[in-house]
Amino acid sequence: MQFLQGTPLIVFSALCVLLALSYCAKRCRLTLKRCRYLLLAIALVYGWATPGQYLWPSRYSPTIEGLALGGLQAVRLIGALAALQLLLWRLSSTQIFSGLYVLLRPLAYLGLNRQRWALRLSLTMRFSVEFLSQAEPLTWSTFVQRLALAEQPCELQEVSILVESLSFFDWLLLVFLCAAALSTLLMLH
């Protein structure tokens, strides 16, 4: 999605948002609501930091090119967030970790330990779900209190990652995504 520009990016992001709002509307709306200030900051930073033609005659004016680039980055982020919500809606955490473990297989050829990567991600996800899903609303003071409690030693927990083999549809989708990425890279040159 990073390589998409203009109309294909907007169409893909809109499709992801429509699907996410159709299947997992509550979690998609919550995610987009939480990111609204980030999206605004992206548009503003690009607007004032990118050289180009000023929107109005003033040295404090944003540029048209900057606002356009900021808008594209915001659309890109919205599409990625919607796609992530679809993924989290469709797959259980066990399936996500299993898929990441299988997709990290090429790292083993580079000498990296994919078990360690999967374990760290699993622990991070488990901790963040426990950390953020408590009944008390998350204000700044409760956030700091939870961080202070989280730094205290805790008991050891056993973590297991069930590795499922890829189905035919998974292989087909993986080949399609690799072909799409390769064709995108070839078109850029």
- The proportion of the chain whose per-residue pLDDT surpasses 70, expressed as a percent, equals 83
More confident residue, 187 or 85: 85
Whether residue 133 has pLDDT greater than 70: no
Q: Which residue has the higher pLDDT, 60 or 185?
A: 60
**Better-scored residue on pLDDT, 157 or 17:** 17
Q: What is the mean pLDDT of residues 59-75?
A: 91
Give residue 39's pLDDT band: very low, low, confident or very high (50, 70, 90).
Answer: very high
Highest mean pLDDT (candidates 56-70, 81-95, 113-127): 56-70
Q: What is the DSSP string of the chain?
A: -TT--HHHHHHHHHHHHHHHHHHSHHHHHHHHHHTHHHHHHHHHHHHHHS-S-BSSSSTTPPBHHHHHHHHHHHHHHHHHHHHHHHHHHHS-HHHHHHHHHHHTHHHHHTT--HHHHHHHHHHHHHHHHHHH--SS---HHHHHHHHHHHTS---------PPPPPPHHHHHHHHHHHHHHHHHHHHH-
Give the number of other CB atoms < 10 A from CB of residue 41: 13
Task: Give the separation between CA 20 and CA 9, rounded to whole angstroms.
Answer: 16
User: Which of the four pLDDT bands, split at 50, 70 and 90, describes residue 5?
Assistant: confident
Answer yes or no: are the C-beta atoms of 89 and 77 closer than 8 Å: no
Q: What backbone torsions phi and psi does residue 165 show, to the nearest 5 degrees?
A: -75, 155
CA dist 9 and 75 (Å) reads: 8
pLDDT tens digits for range 88-113: 888 877 777 777 788 788 888 888 88
Please give the pLDDT value at position 45.
Answer: 93
d(CA 181, CA 76): 16
Other Cβ atoms closer than 10 A to 184: 14
Is the pLDDT assigned to residue 136 strictly greater than 70? no
